[in-house]
Structure 1
């Protein structure tokens, strides 16, 4: 496939504003006692850093940064910001949180507004310009995506009752739309679109990243969600009665999307 270049150009003010937002988001999650959600966000932020800096930069040499900024510190912020917000968002959607509308508005609006605010009020002499090429690993990512969803398809085809089947369309919607929200915010704010040769390049990056990058992990994250939540609550306490994976899928499928809630989440 053609080379897809994931490129960002932004004022350093973006980082400082985003750090403030992350602190506010963390405080709100802790206020609502979303302890496991916070733990998942921090864990995957560290995973993103290991992959982005360790694999993409040190091993594959697909990362570059301009204007003398530190690759390590910029990637640490990017990984923790993207990893934390992405997987907090995913975990809240998988658990069908009772305040899902509020969380969604908060995160999605920030993804759109932060690049616009920093672009308007930033005063740095030279912007941060960081990019990575994708030809070295998109094939491996596609293989992971296919294997994960193949496992879900096999599970569903071997279930006799509809209630214990995984809602694959639901997982696809989360995996695609979460990444799309992030990519669209970067594109609207001029962070992702800066330096692209044509609108086709911008569109290709938006589509390919939205279909592939977060979505490839959804089957595996869903399994982790089931494995954890069948035994423990959102507040990291043991459930009164542990469930099988099949029973947990039935329970999760039975929850209403907005305002449904359930006792195991500690709401």
Structure 2
């Protein structure tokens, strides 16, 4: 049985609710996804989204440090069959770190072509597993019998992730409560917008993996549903308050092409500016 249920900690009074986040895919999926990443990055650079590309790359490196360094080496929550832990996690981290956070940056900056970027990413997450299945059946049938299976348990760290989420959003709530007057409305953080981004980006990823038969392959309904719901609410969303703070600080002085603003703003001025910006303009 692959589900670990309630795992009792060293303090017998405490229990950690655990579930398995599992992926199963043919090796060809990796190479197709790398090709997509190159196309996506190329399109961003073509549209002069230099800062977005750098943010995505930095997020990929951070994902790898957390996933390989903490989840795998420190907490021993990772296991793999049919592949190298280092190389598979490197690809996974760069892939989803780059794609998710480049997309988040485009959302926060209210990019004028946000619909097209979103369609590209969501379309790839939906189509990639189906394309892989067809190509593997035609050109590499041995990969059907020998897929890569990688999974992690969550009980060792989801509580810490929830704490990070709570602290971040609590800070935003306190900030907004302190800016209560009508004249201060322009300086409030649009918390619903950040929540929508944090939840929907992860949900789109999880749903694409689930529909494509990659996420939770071989597990029961409950074990399939838990990663979709809990990860969507927690794993990307926990970083949104901090990412937004970085976004405001950086874009107050630099443009998307990394040029210095002709008239640098304070962070408060940049927050007000971002609040009046609209998608599509």
Fold shared by both chains (TM-score > 0.5): yes
Q: Aligned residues, how many?
A: 257
- Any conservation in 1 of the 2:21–2:216 contact (CA below 8 Å)? no
TM-score normalized by the length of structure 1: 0.94
Instruction: Give 2:198's match in structure 1, choosing from 175, 178, 197.
Output: 175
Alpha-carbon distance in 2 for matches of 1:117, 1:4? 29
Superposed CA RMSD in Å reads: 0.9
Corresponding residue number in structure 2 for 1:231: 253
Residue aligning to 2:116:
102
- 2:17 aligns to what? 2
Residue in structure 1 matching 2:274, options 242, 246, 252: 252
TM-score by length of 2: 0.90
Determine the C-alpha separation between the residues in 1 that align with 2:169 and 2:267. Answer: 17
Mapped partners of 1:55, 1:34: distance in 2: 31
1:118-267 pair list within 5 angstroms = 118-122=132-136, 123=141, 124=143, 125-159=145-179, 160=181, 161-196=184-219, 198-257=220-279, 259-260=280-281
Alpha-carbon separation, structure 2, partners of 1:4 and 1:169: 28
Question: What is the CA distance between 1:93 and its match in structure 2?
Answer: 0.3
- Structure number with bigger Rg: 2
Q: Secondary structure at the match of 2:23?
A: strand
Q: Does structure 2 conserve the Cα–Cα contact (< 8 Å) formed by 1:155 and 1:165?
A: yes
Asked if the contact 1:10/1:119 (under 8 Å) is kept, the reply is: no
Tell me, what secondary structure is at the counterpart of 2:24? strand
Q: CA deviation at 1:115?
A: 1.4
| Native 8 Å contact 2:126 2:212 kept in 1 | yes
The CA distance in 1 between the partners of 2:87 and 2:242, in whole Å, is 28
Deviation at 1:50, TM superposition (A): 0.5
Which runs of 5 or more structure 1 residues have no equivalent in the other structure? 261-267
Give 2:97's aligned residue.
83
d(CA) in 1 for partners of 2:93 and 2:173? 31
Kindly state the Cα deviation for residue 121 of structure 1 after the two structures are TM-superposed.
Answer: 2.4
Report deviation, 1:251.
0.7
Is the CA contact 1:63–1:133 (under 8 Å) kept in the aligned structure 2? yes
Pick aligned residue for 1:117 from 110, 125, 131: 131
State the alpha-carbon separation in 1 of the partners of residues 60 and 244 from structure 2.
17
- Structure 2 gaps of 5+ residues are 1-15
SS in 1 for 2:17: coil
Instruction: Determine if the alignment matches structure 1 residue 17 to structure 2 residue 17.
Output: no
